Amino acid sequence: MAKTKTVYHCTECGAQAPKWQGQCPGCGEWNTLVESIATPAPARFRNVAGAKSTVTPLAHVAPQENRRIATGLPEFDRVLGGGLVAGGVVLLGGDPGIGKSTLLLQASAALGAAHRTLYVTGEESTDQIALRAQRLGLVNAPVELLAEVQLEAIVAAIDTTTPEFVVVDSIQTVYTEALQSAPGSVAQVRECAAQLTRYAKQRGVAMIFVGHVTKEGAIAGPRVLEHIVDTVLYFEGEPHSSFRLVRAIKNRYGAANELGVFAMSERGLKGVTNPSALFLSRHGDPVPGSAIVATLEGSRPLLVEIQALVDPVHGGGMTRRLAVGLDPQRLALLLAVLHRHGGVETAGYDVFVNAVGGVRIGEPAADLAVLLAVNSSLRNKPLPDKLMVFGEVGLAGEIRPVQRGLERIREAAKLGFRTVLMPTANRPKQGIDDVALVTVDRIDAALAHVRD
Ligand code: TYD
Ligand code: MG
């Protein structure tokens, strides 16, 4: 094979250098030079978007409806925005052992019946995959396996077998001869992902890359990986619980922030159809420090229990604020609002807050539930039974409306909640059967409601 010329270029400013250097000659940043193939950029990246250099009025473009390929796992299809798309490339990130290979083997097996499927494994041998298939009861699944890590060989295999769906497990193990950098390095991962993506688009092949995550939780390798692919999914979940969440972070073919819920069982991942029931812990009687919020993850509301523990600091040490599944910065902010506008002092106390079930809540609709859980733990007094709470809390102590309040109320009603404490501005025009709606404008009004 003819030796390809490589150059080094800066990930910050784009400057090029013929050899690796610690410092970029262009912008002076350190450790930003990565290797790449020295062909002119247009030749390597042409066709990625299928763009032609003619100008077309928007109105004349007739978009083609993307045909969806259902994966046979409805929860997975939900996060994908209805299924895989021919020529669409998905990146699936997640901690080791969370179940990425399991999910993709299950999807491959289900898809394989109607669409020729190739599973490229760079981490495990075909024997190991077969063992997993045995465990999943999928030994006779119509899936073709390829244990290969070299990009050129993978592309050649796809060329000859012409699959419609390809899994690459994982993209970090794939390397190309054209670069001298070690497999798994930023340069290798980026180049291989870009080449496979371009190939997928040319051939109309649906692909899923498994991506490793770093300690910080981002997909290892360059951030650009997320820009190259069409869809980025993260596999989340607590190691000690059997529940797994697949979250769409980016999706060119559907809604981002969509959430799929699975349970890991003896025989693989099973979709959970009623996830709300799952995140509510089953206390016999109401306990102090617990509040239920309806959070909106993607297209559906999810009832989640927020637990707080407020405990005096022992030995005069520093107070600790810890938030699991919620933003710690936001917790600090909310405690300040609680003090200033609610007259509830938490200085001198450790405050721990947890969103039960390993779910991560990013939206401010949980603010009010966090504050009421904290207040409840501090006073050692449970919130009223069958109460659901939602609402954003502002710095001035006001309770602000959140999007799609009605859906949240309906979800609570469906699961047997009898009272909803919510922002006034979210009050629906019509009442909801069997549910009392208590609307509040300010944090002190919310505290007053739970005091008696
Ligand atoms: P795996 O899919 O190998 O994880 P990843 O590819 O993300 O690293 O999943 C491995 C874990 O899943 C392992 O701890 C065993 C567990 N598991 C089950 O509980 N049930 C099953 O049916 C299978 C196949 C795996
Ligand atoms: Mg794996």
Per-residue pLDDT tens over the stretch 207-232: 999 998 766 666 665 567 888 999 99
Calpha distance 137→270 (Å, rounded): 13
**Nearest by Cα to 309 from 373, 227, 365:** 373
pLDDT tens string 348-401: 999 999 998 778 898 999 999 999 999 999 999 999 989 999 999 999 999 999
For ligand 1, mutation pick of 264, 265, 270 (most atoms within 8 Å of CB): 264
| Distance between Cα 224 and ligand 2 center (Å) | 22
SS3 of the chain: helix, strand, coil, percent, to 5: 30, 30, 40
pLDDT tens string 127-180: 999 999 999 999 999 999 999 999 999 999 999 999 999 999 989 999 999 988
Burial 229-245 (b: 16+ CB within 10 A, else e): bbbbbbbbbeeeeebbb
Indicate if ligand 1 lies below 6 Å from the C-beta of 437.
Answer: no
Are 220 and 214 within 8 A, CB to CB? yes
Q: Is the model's pLDDT at 189 over the cut of 80? A: yes
Calpha distance 182→187 (Å, rounded): 9
Are 365 and 409 within 8 A, CB to CB? no
- pTM, full prediction: 0.78
Indicate if ligand 1 lies below 6 Å from the C-beta of 96.
Answer: yes
pLDDT tens string 294-351: 998 777 788 999 999 999 998 777 889 999 999 999 999 999 999 999 999 999 999 9
Ligand in closest contact with the CA of 93: 1
Task: Give the number of the atom of ligand 1 that is nearest the alpha carbon of residue 105.
Answer: 2
| Distance between Cα 45 and ligand 2 center (Å) | 29
Indicate if ligand 1 lies below 6 Å from the C-beta of 98.
Answer: yes
For ligand 1, mutation pick of 91, 102, 244 (most atoms within 8 Å of CB): 102
| Distance between Cα 300 and ligand 2 center (Å) | 29
**Residue-level pLDDT at 217:** 61
**Cα 64 to Cα 67, 91, 254, 396, distances in angstroms:** 9, 23, 15, 49
pLDDT tens string 26-51: 888 888 888 888 765 555 555 555 55
| Distance between Cα 232 and ligand 1 center (Å) | 21
User: Which three-class secondary structure state does DSSP give residue 10?
Assistant: strand
Burial (Cβ within 10 Å: 0-12, 13-18, ≥19) of residue 125: exposed
| Distance between Cα 125 and ligand 2 center (Å) | 11
Selected residue with higher pLDDT from 411 and 53:
411
